[in-house]
């Protein structure tokens, strides 16, 4: 299989656009939202998944026929995975903070 220069160049340009690099300029573009907004949105999403899971579990326990056991279990697992991922991100952030604080000035 032979790769032509034009297809390789177009693929590289496509990857650069996906990475946020403007052609001709090797610096990435400035993101529109800051890190705090990103974390807030992520926490709100995890909270929403947990609230949805609790709502489905409660409705199932009360005998709502529109909620299946499978739906409740899937929602519970999604909320659990999202929470565990959030805890891991928090742990990495705390570890990075400690590393930065221990750096000699």
pLDDT above 70 for 4: no
Condensed to tens digits (0 to 9), the pLDDT of residues 11-37 reads: 777 777 776 665 565 565 565 668 788
DSSP letter for 67, please.
S
Enter the pTM of the model: 0.61
Condensed to tens digits (0 to 9), the pLDDT of residues 31-55 reads: 566 878 888 888 999 999 999 999 9
Choose between 86 and 2: higher pLDDT: 86
pLDDT above 70 for 97: yes
The pLDDT value recorded for residue 33 is: 66
Q: How far apart are CA 33 and CA 103, in angstroms?
A: 28
Structural domain spans, the chain: 1-29, 31-101
The two tokens of residue 75 are 């929602």
**Average pLDDT of the segment spanning 64-85:** 94
């Amino acid at each position: 299989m032979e790769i032509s220069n034009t297809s390789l160049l177009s693929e590289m340009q496509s990857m650069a656009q996906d990475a946020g690099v403007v052609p001709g300029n090797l610096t990435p573009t400035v993101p529109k939202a800051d890190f705090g907004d990103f974390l807030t949105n992520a926490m709100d999403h995890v909270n929403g998944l947990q609230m949805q899971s609790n709502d489905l579990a409660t409705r199932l326990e009360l005998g709502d026929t529109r909620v299946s056991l499978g739906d409740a279990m899937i929602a519970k697992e999604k909320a659990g995975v999202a929470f565990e991922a959030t805890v891991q991100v928090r742990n990495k952030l705390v570890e990075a903070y400690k590393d930065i604080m221990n750096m000699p000035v």
